[in-house]
Structure 1
């Protein structure tokens, strides 16, 4: 579900969107903060805001991220916390100029849509319901009088909250300056050629001038709940329609009867949320269905294929490269979802991990680089064995959300933080996304290591070298054990602690098995 809240500056969009997201478990998307971040970077770098090409270049290069912390959402610009810096008067006065640049809006809209593709969101801004998400299930245009908005913003800058404290006051001169800025900004926003501020034709208008914050939130929540009930009502007859063709097709040719249920299944899957809806054998399930659904929900043929592959490959690798897990019980006796990280030296270790855990009744979702998907047969096979593709070097939120849901289902997510096979002892740069995934899935991180597999593939040789392979597993690391507060700090600490433990396990294996690399 997408909830789009539009309105002029100071109308309370951010506060309402935050509350709606929290109460209905939706992701909050602060689009205004994105434009403000670009504005801040332009101001810091001395970029002429009249030079649209220069401003667009800043937008394209800026790395804007959001991080949820104990005190609310944090805005990161190129890795730096700018939550407070983007709310200054100087940014207020210039953000409309930056956001009016077509190339800037193109970059920001693409990023906003990518976030929404990964799950349900509440987005607020000035063109959310008209341009960014014109098909949003709920559209709200929230406004208030100029004076009310200026007063709220002035109180906010002094650390108060006029929405919760009707008696809150602010400096009169400051409030007048904010009022002038708001009126100037309204004129710019509503008259710009690119995505002007206006209410969508099907938006619900709410004037909050004389309403309390709770009254506004309640009105929006009522719209959200009504939209959800409407979607549920639409889904029921659709589900019944999917079942009908089985009877109606009985008197028709076999080819036509076989084709219709598959077609209906694809339509149903397209409208279902990720991971919802049934997967049926030989019913045209897409790769996306396999990425989004739990492995135990896979159709019987796919589960049978996985069992055959695991038994066959597990037996062959055990014979050619006799592998052994040390402290394996730490991995096998865990029944909860967790992120498993280890060093990556060959294509053998992911196979061994998947096979070993499968024999112990656990399902593994290996995260693999999307470059492998260039070959259709590889995509087909990887999807059936639980793989989740990820685009390296980008914020692939869809892959992150899929991994998050897998953890919440109790599946194991296997990640190689080095990102590629490492054939030397030099530590490669670490892709720290595994800590974020574990945080989002409320799961621990389990370190492991392998030795003996690095030299399986010899330079210039087609045949693989035979030999024993050893793996070792450590206990799970909980975020609560790290001794730091704040989501960002915890993620950084987890990256460091988990990978240090991986190297320790590798070194322990080398001491116990001399000559194994």
Structure 2
């Protein structure tokens, strides 16, 4: 579950998020601390916060992490612990300027998503529910009048806690200065062009001016319980049709009215032939919903490509029934050796009634013609090295529709056994979010098509092998993060085990 808490400065977001994280065993993602860390680094390095280019470069290069200590959560930027340094008046006065820069926000949002989509989290900030996690299960917008917020912040700087001690006092002059800073910051945050401070349309508004921290926490915990119950609620059975309706259904059907006579509009979002469908339309719709010309083109291309590749590089899938006979949406993971790899899976499954959405790196889509071809082929672009939420959601939707999502976790074609390999584990998150299994598969012989150091193609047989699907329930671990990590390990272990079996069966094939 993701809990998004937004609100203006001093509204108690951090206190509330900390308490929820502790009470509900969630990871606490302090997004405000990330912007403060960039601000602090700029100030410490003598960089003018009004120099957008210089500040943006700092944000894009910075590595921000969260740690633990006896005192609680710590914040680090480029390995330096800055937990206390980022809470000074100087940082307070400059953080809104830094946070308003588009490139800074983009860099921070990417890092926040990367940190957030590894398990259950509670995140607080100013655009969590609107930008960072727009699909969060629980969204809250905390607010309080400016005077109450200024008092809390002033007491906090003197080491107190106004939430726990209503009688806590602070220096009056300091409190007035904080009030002026808060009012100025509220104006900056709510009027900036990039991700302005505003509640999400589906956020729950909580004014905590007169509420104790425990009361605010309980309200949010109640919202979390409500969200869980909704997600687990069974779909109600369709009610029995009244007798009159049954009689009407039994009567001869009337002739449909001429097209356009009823004034009914087409189904929202429906794709139509030659109607200017965008690339996003193809990424977001099921492949069976593609317009007829696109489906016809796909069928012709599949026939041609299957014939040509079968002639030039005769390929065979061992234990293919494991791949063909399962009608569930699932993630297929595979070692990657050549451009033939996805062709075999896509064409083979196509002729057994399955549609495959291959995940491809976004670098392929810089050319309009390639984007046109890839979109009609059903691929989904993903930005490598980032937590690409849009790609994850598209894959999740495809899996729930019963489509197969094909991913090469190695990220690039591996041309030799001594080539370093980095496994990209996003596939387990996609499967986990869609409650889908992961199926390992391996290929040998395709690497020989284009030997290392040459572009000339060689002919030869290619062999694949499909493994059994892996269910999250069979992994023997609990917790979303632990299950995702275990799935990555088990799935790739089985991919390489299948590859080794093929190499034993077919010596000299790589």
Question: Which digits, 9 at most, give the CA deviation of each residue in 1:405-445, with x for residues without a partner?
Answer: 21222211111112221110124222222222222222222
Match of 2:401 among 397, 409, 412: 409
Alignment partners' CA distance in 2, 1:463 and 1:488: 44
Corresponding residue number in structure 2 for 1:69: none
Structure 1 pair 129–98 and aligned structure 2 pair: CA distance change class (3 A): farther
Corresponding residue number in structure 2 for 1:443: 436
Match of 2:308 among 292, 295, 316: 316
Matches within 5 A, 1:342-361: 342-361=334-353
Task: Give the aligned CA root-mean-square deviation in angstroms.
Answer: 5.3
Match of 1:39 among 33, 36, 41: 36
Question: Which digits, 9 at most, give the CA deviation of each residue in 1:351-388, with x for residues without a partner?
Answer: 00001111222111001122222333322221112111
Tell me whether 1:504 sits opposite 2:493 in the alignment: no
Structure 1 pair 98–357 and aligned structure 2 pair: CA distance change class (3 A): farther
Which of 142-151 and 491-500 deviates more? 142-151
Match of 2:360 among 352, 360, 368: 368
Alignment partners' CA distance in 2, 1:401 and 1:331: 24
1:410 is paired with a residue whose SS is coil
Shift of 1:280: 1.0
Determine if contact 1:99/1:105 at 8 Å carries over to the other structure. no
Corresponding residue number in structure 1 for 2:148: 146
1:465 is paired with a residue whose SS is coil
**Greater helix share, structure number:** 1
Alignment partners' CA distance in 2, 1:62 and 1:92: 19
Alignment partners' CA distance in 1, 2:171 and 2:407: 49
2:316 is paired with a residue whose SS is strand
Tell me whether 1:431 sits opposite 2:424 in the alignment: yes
Tell me whether 1:307 sits opposite 2:308 in the alignment: no
Shift of 1:290: 0.3
Question: Which digits, 9 at most, give the CA deviation of each residue in 1:118-149, with x for residues without a partner?
Answer: xxxx996458899999xxxx996721562898
Alignment partners' CA distance in 2, 1:245 and 1:79: 67
Shift of 1:319: 2.5
Alignment partners' CA distance in 2, 1:130 and 1:423: 43
Question: Which digits, 9 at most, give the CA deviation of each residue in 1:201-242, with x for residues without a partner?
Answer: 999986433466499779x99xxxxxxxxxxxxxxxxxxxxx
Question: Which digits, 9 at most, give the CA deviation of each residue in 1:435-464, with x for residues without a partner?
Answer: 222222222222111001111124686663
Corresponding residue number in structure 1 for 2:464: 471
Corresponding residue number in structure 2 for 1:110: 106
Q: Taking structure 1 as the reference length, what is the TM-score of the superposition?
A: 0.66
Tell me whether 1:7 sits opposite 2:8 in the alignment: yes
2:30 is paired with a residue whose SS is helix
Structure 1 pair 5–331 and aligned structure 2 pair: CA distance change class (3 A): same
Question: Which digits, 9 at most, give the CA deviation of each residue in 1:339-360, with x for residues without a partner?
Answer: 2111111111110000111122
Alignment partners' CA distance in 2, 1:449 and 1:483: 24
Tell me whether 1:100 sits opposite 2:93 in the alignment: no
Matches within 5 A, 1:194-213: 195-196=188-189, 207-210=207-210, 213=216
Structure 1 pair 98–404 and aligned structure 2 pair: CA distance change class (3 A): farther
Instruction: Give the aligned length.
Output: 433
Corresponding residue number in structure 2 for 1:381: 373
Question: Which digits, 9 at most, give the CA deviation of each residue in 1:16-53, with x for residues without a partner?
Answer: 9x99xxxxxxxx999x8223034357779993688637
Shift of 1:516: 0.8
